[in-house]
Structure formats: C-alpha cells, structure tokens
A = this chain, B = another copy of it.
Amino acid sequence: MKYGIGEFSRITSLSIKSLRLYHEKEILVPSEVDQFTGYRYYNEMNIEFAKTIKILKEYDFSLAEIKEIIDEFNDESEILEQLIKKKNEIEKKIARYKDISVSIDSIIKKEKENKMRIENEFEIEEKEIETMLIAAYRMKGKYSDVGKGFGVLAKNFGSEINGKAMCLYYDGEYKEDDADIETCFPVRKGKDVDGISVRGLKGGRCVSLMHKGPYELLGESYRKIFNYINARNYNTLIPSREVYIKGPGMIFKGNPNNYLTEIQIFIQR
C-alpha cells in the first residue's frame, strides 16, 4: 500500500506543509519519491513514525529535538531524561503565563472599576466617608511636588497600601508655592516612621465631584463644587481632599484627558 501526500496527510492529521518540511529535514522521509514528478509516497512504516512525531510535537518538542530522539532512541525509557527536561520547561511556561494572567487581570479589574466610577461622572453628590487608616507625609511646597511625597510613602508602605492615593489640603485658599499639603495612602496597618504619620483619618459628610481630565483644569471643578456649597450655605471643613482615582497607567504613561480625580470638600452637619 502506498499513499500520496494528501491522503497521508489525512491519515496522520499532519498538514502537507509539515510533511514536506519533515521530509526536507529528514525527520519523516517518504518511502518512495517519484524520480520524475517528485511526488512523495508514504507507506505503513511511515505511519508509525508519524504517530511518534505527532506525540512528541504535542509535547512541545522542537523538530530538532524530535529528529535527535527518533534517530537515536526507540523506547520511552531511553528518553526519560528528555521528558523530564521538557516537563520542567513546560512548568516554567505555566508559571510565567500564570504571572501574566494575574497581572493582566489586575489591570482589567482596575479599569472596570474606573469605568463604573465614570458612570456617575460630573455629578456633584453628597456622601458619607468612613474613617480610614492612612499613612501620611506632610509637606510644604508646590502642588507639583506631591509626587515626591507619594514616592516616600510607597517606599515605606508599598505592600500595605489599600486604596487610591490622596492629598489633604490644609490651606483654605489656593497657594501657588507654599501650599500645606499632606500626601497619603490608605493602608492596612503600620506605624509611624520618620516623617510619616500613620493614623485614623476621620470621615464625615462631604460634597464630592469627579473631575475628568488633566490636573491643570482642576480649578474649573473646584469652581463648580464651591458654587454648589455656597448656594446651600454649607460650612466647609479643612482639610479638603483630592483622591487620585486614575492617573498615569501601568502600560501607557497615560492620556491626561482620562485622568480621574475626586474632589471631596467636607462640610459641617
């Protein structure tokens, strides 16, 4: 019995392309090649080899490895070593892919959260904020210096961070250069270290507005929120907060037009 390449391909479920390649690499040589037409013809013995090759391919051996194996060995027990090596490689790949999966998943979750938050975007609302434990680093300086503060906090409490970065503003008014700012992160636990205070941050009732866009345009949102507060004659408390829901991302440096910042002005009840 002899089979043409198409038929043999159907028998073995190896593509014609692959069969030609295996021939070229002398991994699976047809039993007969027509001298004039170049047509490949296969026989039963080829089928046996093809089965072995298919299984080794499923086990992720490269063609070079497969060639070596079928040229030199003909029993499972003789390639135990190779099987063990291959298994280790595969375990490594699994571990790597699992890492990636977890990592992508966390980004996806974060973005979905943000999406939900955007739903009620641009609506001023009043709400209750719970008391939370924070690690805080107080500083005087320019608004643009807060990055440094977050750096200090992240270095000391990286693994305990439990929420979005925030700033507390202790000035009643806008100050260009010498603002009194406290950068902070919600944390799970921890205690004071040099310059960083870990404490409960009292909650309360606040007026909140989600600001979407670059930090430079925050002024506009502040104007809106104060209009609302003044219209109702609320008495505001200090400090006010900015919660940085979304800034530069993990993948992209980020498009400032998508930054999300929640402004919280606390009021007396």
Q: Evaluate whether A80 and B108 lie within 8 angstroms (CB atoms) in the complex, with A74-B252, A75-B258, A94-B94 already known.
A: yes
Asked whether A77 is an interface residue with its Cβ less than 8 Å from the other chain, the reply is yes
Hey, what's the 0/1 contact readout for A97-109 against B, CB within 8 Å counting as 1? 1101101110110
Q: Evaluate whether A112 and B75 lie within 8 angstroms (CB atoms) in the complex, with A251-B56, A252-B52 already known.
A: no
Closest approach, in angstroms, between the C-beta of A104 and any C-beta of chain B?
5
Closest approach, in angstroms, between the C-beta of A113 and any C-beta of chain B?
11
Partner of A60, one of B75, B100, B249, B252: B100
Write out the residue numbers on chain B whose beta carbons fall within 8 Å of the beta carbon of A52. Answer: 251-253
Copies in the complex: 2
Write out the residue numbers on chain B whose beta carbons fall within 8 Å of the beta carbon of A79. Answer: 251
Interface size on A, residues (CB 8 A): 45
CB atoms of A104 and B77 under 8 A apart: no
Interface stretch, picked from A3-11, A83-91, A129-137, A177-185, is A83-91
CB atoms of A253 and B90 under 8 A apart: no
CB atoms of A75 and B107 under 8 A apart: no
Asked whether A58 is an interface residue with its Cβ less than 8 Å from the other chain, the reply is yes
CB atoms of A255 and B75 under 8 A apart: yes
Across the A-B interface, the 9 shortest Cβ-Cβ residue pairs = A76-B249, A75-B255, A74-B255, A87-B104, A75-B258, A94-B97, A77-B111, A90-B97, A90-B101
